[in-house]
A and B are shown apart, each in its own frame.
Chain A
Amino acid sequence: GAGVSQSPRYKVAKRGQDVALRCDPISGHVSLFWYQQALGQGPEFLTYFQNEAQLDKSGLPSDRFFAERPEGSVSTLKIQRTQQEDSAVYLCASSGTSGVNEQFFGPGTRLTVL
């Protein structure tokens, strides 16, 4: 079946703009994760959902970052008043039941803030 998809694949924003990044997980996957990957670095955890519940948002760098998954499937990561340091690839991953470990990654959204 289809893997994890993300849109847009590339986003250029002017500093101060709001952006919304979408993640479509693998159908039926309960868990969904957002990561931020800066150039030359490993993915950094942002937040985690189990179904529609956001169980961990400890990695969100500021209150400008907000994520939601209202129906327990598609998720949106919103960044308000973008700043240059927000430039990174934002990766989404999903996994099956809470007892399953493997996470499947989407292709990422490359955000460039000018």
Chain B
Amino acid sequence: GENVEQHPSTLSVQEGDSAVIKCTYSDSASNYFPWYKQELGKRPQLIIDIRSNVGEKKDQRIAVTLNKTAKHFSLHITETQPEDSAVYFCAAKGYQKVTFGIGTKLQVIP
């Protein structure tokens, strides 16, 4: 089955700096890669996603890149703000099943 590895597990940045979270996956059949933000005690919320036929996608301060050959994908948050503090999960999806990474706890220091 699919295996998704995510790092770092924790990340602290100064407000205004950039944050990068990296993931790898194992199943070359995976074709959809969502990123979720989960605040404490809340449900995961989709923040951006990318499909396997695209190499990069950007939405305001958030961007995701995908390298299918290397089976790597990354989340980039620029100009971080305190409200970006949360746990971020990457995931990989094949036909229907979604496999999540372990999560990265991002702390943005004002």
Contacts and interface: CB of A to CB of B under 8 A. Distances in A.
Interface string B11-32: 0000000000000000000001
Contacts, number: 52
Query: What is the size category of the interface that chain A forms with chain B?
Result: 20 to 34
Contact of B46 (A33, A50, A102): A102
B100 A43 contact: yes
Interface residues of B, number: 23
A108 interface: yes
Contacts of B1: 58
A75 B42 CA distance: 21
B43 A101 contact: no
A10 to B, nearest CB: 11
A91 B43 contact: yes
B43 A107 contact: yes
A106 B44 CA distance: 8
Contacts of A41: 102-103
Contacts of A50: 96
B43 A43 contact: no
Contact of B98 (A40, A98, A103, A106): A103
Interface string A1-43: 0000000000000000000000000000001010100001111
Given A42-B102, A98-B96, 14 more contacts: A33-B98, A35-B100, A48-B96, A56-B97, A91-B43, A91-B44, A101-B34, A101-B49, A101-B51, A101-B93, A102-B49, A103-B34, A105-B44, A106-B43
Interface of A: 31, 33, 35, 40-45, 48, 50, 55-56, 58, 91, 98, 101-108
5 contacts: A43-B44, A45-B97, A56-B96, A101-B34, A108-B43
